[in-house]
Structure 1
């Protein structure tokens, strides 16, 4: 069992919270200093200085490198195996990662095509072959590292630490999801769309938490998160998003927010959970999501 296996290790429980708390404090400081600052103007200035690809690397590289910090901390300081941080299985199931990745990548591509076909006036073609290929190379390397960092930090280290301290599946599931959502408060999308978008970020955290707990490992969450950020960055960019990229399309419409939030949270994510549950034969939902964790 993914959460129960923390009892195999004798690390001080405090060690599980050092990196998550430090990261969240950095996010809070960033949010405080960004209040009253036009984040889009800051991003535009950075792009003028180092270019679109350069700005992308500078923004994402710290998070990408953070994955190796998490692995080092868990392996050397906590003396816990990376496999046990990833899954309850004897070895990491890469088939699960790739299936989740390609399923969500396919859905994202189809939804983007439909949106473009229905309202082509909302998009302009942004495709520049040389710049796109360079960005593609950077994105394939950096984005999966960035998304994996967030998964290992929130659905891995923090979730297992909470399981060890609280012995509550519900708290271990809910708190990382809420903190994952709050981590995005400084994103320019929040300014553009409004606080309602926090429902999407927290809802996505809840969805990823359900994947992790019900499937007894991070594999499905790792694949989904990588596909969500990578394919999204390659397909569409907008002037008001955190990542300005050499994507294929550029969204020039004014976001309403409500539809983009309601569709994935209340329609698509439940459908995905149903698909995964049938494929991987998930059972005992109530016990796994809200029950007590036996660490004896």
Structure 2
């Protein structure tokens, strides 16, 4: 069982508190390179009290800004994995999955499914439904630079979010509260809530938060039902790569040298509910059929219990728990 993997490691509450704080600090420290670059671009004598976010985001070349934005997540991921290994004595595999080794087939299936789905929906909208909402933005050299940055950095950004929310916090909160639904709710709401400051919310309205929180719940359900992060990692990486490379807009978090540019002024409406209440359940159904998910109630709402091999082995030192290789 995925959450129970944390029982194999050093899992004191104070370790998770320190780990969370240090990871968040590292994430914010990772934003310093962007701030420094903007300072040099605008001039060290600029009055930054009067500089708004839009000015800061447009001060540099869009590809350079994109790189710096994702760099903070790469630094956060590095800090998190360092803490997991050295503070918790937990292996990378145990943070990733309940299986004996990471199932990359699951990752690539999820990645491919979401790429096909997202690209299809966007192209149908572009060619048949709302062609007036798009302009072709393709410029070969800037796009190739963007692609190189995105292929390397976007998976680091999405992996940080998955390992931190659906991995580290899901396991930590799960073993401390003793129930699966509690970390599912907490991580999903916090994950979605942190997107409140995305420019999409300012453009489309607060209703778009339903999509962000709903996405958090879908990814959390994937994690608990499949007992690992492979499917969420593939989903998230594919979703953000398509967003960065195929279509962006002035009002999106990823304002890049994409192939298409959305020039509409959308407001969140019924389409948000269709995504959360129709498309997301269909995606989960595809995964459920392929990977034979069963016992939904226990996997989503059941208790988190220490595996018997650990609970009964009183002579095993806490330092050695990370060496137990049972498949729970």
| TM-score clears 0.5 | yes
* CA apart distance, 1:12: 1.8
Inter-partner Cα distance in structure 2 for 1:283 and 1:154: 24
Consecutive unaligned residues of structure 1, counting only runs of 5 or more, are 31-36
Q: In the alignment, which residue of structure 1 is the partner of 2:108?
A: 98
Residue number among 77, 80, 89 corresponding to 1:70 in the alignment = 80
Inter-partner Cα distance in structure 2 for 1:46 and 1:274: 39
* CA apart distance, 1:257: 1.1
Q: TM-score, structure 2 length as denominator?
A: 0.83
Q: In the alignment, which residue of structure 1 is the partner of 2:60?
A: 50
65 and 72 in structure 1: CA distance in 2 versus 1, 3 angstrom threshold: same
Inter-partner Cα distance in structure 1 for 2:64 and 2:197: 21
* CA apart distance, 1:25: 8.3
Q: TM-score, structure 1 length as denominator?
A: 0.92
Residues 19-59 of structure 1: CA deviation (Å, up to 9, x unaligned): 4456668999x9xxxxxx999x6234432x32110111121
Q: In the alignment, which residue of structure 2 is the partner of 1:125?
A: 136
Deviating beyond 4 angstroms after TM superposition, the runs of 4 or more aligned structure 1 residues are 21-28
Residues 160-194 of structure 1: CA deviation (Å, up to 9, x unaligned): 00112101111021110011011112111111111
SS at match of 1:196: helix
Residue 158 in 1 paired to residue 157 in 2? no
Residue 205 in 1 paired to residue 230 in 2? no
Q: In the alignment, which residue of structure 2 is the partner of 1:34?
A: none
Residue 214 in 1 paired to residue 225 in 2? yes
Is the contact between residue 27 and residue 76 of structure 2 (CA under 8 Å) also seen in structure 1?
A: no
Larger Rg: 2
* CA apart distance, 1:5: 2.1
Inter-partner Cα distance in structure 1 for 2:176 and 2:146: 42
Consecutive unaligned residues of structure 2, counting only runs of 5 or more, are 32-48, 312-328
Residue 186 in 1 paired to residue 197 in 2? yes
Is the contact between residue 17 and residue 158 of structure 1 (CA under 8 Å) also seen in structure 2?
A: no
Residues 114-172 of structure 1: CA deviation (Å, up to 9, x unaligned): 11012111000010011001000000000000000000000000000011210111102
Residue 82 in 1 paired to residue 92 in 2? yes
* CA apart distance, 1:256: 2.0
SS at match of 2:266: coil
294 and 11 in structure 1: CA distance in 2 versus 1, 3 angstrom threshold: closer
- Paired residue total: 287
Is the contact between residue 24 and residue 183 of structure 1 (CA under 8 Å) also seen in structure 2?
A: no
Is the contact between residue 96 and residue 220 of structure 1 (CA under 8 Å) also seen in structure 2?
A: yes
SS at match of 2:261: strand
* CA apart distance, 1:64: 2.0
Q: In the alignment, which residue of structure 1 is the partner of 2:242?
A: 231
* CA apart distance, 1:15: 1.6
193 and 21 in structure 1: CA distance in 2 versus 1, 3 angstrom threshold: farther
Q: In the alignment, which residue of structure 2 is the partner of 1:139?
A: 150
Q: In the alignment, which residue of structure 1 is the partner of 2:126?
A: 116
SS at match of 2:135: strand
RMSD: 2.1
197 and 20 in structure 1: CA distance in 2 versus 1, 3 angstrom threshold: farther
